[in-house]
Amino acid sequence: MINPEPFPVMTVSAVTSRPDPIYLSTYTGRPPDEPAIIGEVFNRLALPLIRAQIPEVRDLWLPPSACSYRIAVVSINKRYPGQARRVMMALWGMLPQFSYTKMIIVVDDDIDPRNWDDISWALATRMDPSRDVMMLDNTPMDYLDFASPEPRLAGKIGFDATNKIGAETACEWGAVMQTAPADAAFAADLLSRLEGQL
């Protein structure tokens, strides 16, 4: 259990007003909030640094709804068994901010890491929980994470939602499923016509 600790306290001795006041503050809470927007900027700034250190990374998304750094979705150009786990460990150890990332989902580069439908499909079709989940405990965590069992320490979880190759599987994986563009257009048109009827 996390016990209350002393923090700075502000005592208000007077309240005054003036025309056109300037009030500097930030809104933090459940996203969308200011840290979520800052997280989008961090995502864009961090990606080139990450690619320089982990060249197989194609894209990275820090979902604003996950406090901008507590979940990361990474797409990679996978070439060898175990590569997704190596990417997870590299990210957790690369920048101090990523040491506070609780969950990393690694997908292949045919999956859009910014699209929850794509991510869900990869998790449902390319991941086996007994083989493709990596859990760590007693790792560094943001002091403000109240879900942690101990102050500044928490677990981490990584999901390998990539196609399995080599020693990762005994199964033949085959070709990546694709929807023909004409079929996708037909389905989109049909859904738009039915939308008002459902």
SS3 track for the chain:
CCCCCCCCCCCCCCCCCCCCCCCCCCCCCCCCCHHHHHHHHHHHHHHHHHHHHCCCEEEEECCHHHCCCCEEEEEECCCCCCHHHHHHHHHHHHCHHHHHCCEEEEEECCCCCCCHHHHHHHHHHHCCHHHHEEEEEEEECCCCCCCCCECCEEEEEEEEECCCCHHHCCCCCCCCCCCCHHHHHHHHHHHHHHCCCC
For 109-132, the pLDDT digits (tens) are 999 999 999 999 999 999 999 999
Confidence of residue 2 (pLDDT cuts 50, 70, 90): low
Would you state the structure tokens that stand for residue 35, as one six-digit string? Answer: 């840290």
pLDDT at 177 over 80: no
pLDDT (0 to 100) of residue 35: 81
Q: What are the domain boundaries of the chain?
A: 34-170
pLDDT at 61 over 70: yes
Residue in the structure block whose two tokens are 């449902």: 124
pLDDT at 134 over 90: yes
How far apart, in Å, are the Cα atoms of 171 and each of 50, 108, 163?
32, 18, 11
Share of the chain above pLDDT 70, in %: 98
Distance of alpha carbon 120 from alpha carbon 156, whole angstroms:
19
Nearest-5° Cα angle at 64, 63 to 69: 70
Closest CA relative to residue 128, chosen from 173, 91, 90, 98 = 173
Q: Is the peptide bond before 64 cis (omega within 30 degrees of 0)?
A: no
Position with higher pLDDT, 176 vs 171: 171
CATH of domain 34-170: 3.40.1670.10
Strand order in the sheet with 71-76: 57-61, 71-76, 103-108, 153-161, 133-140
Confidence of residue 1 (pLDDT cuts 50, 70, 90): low
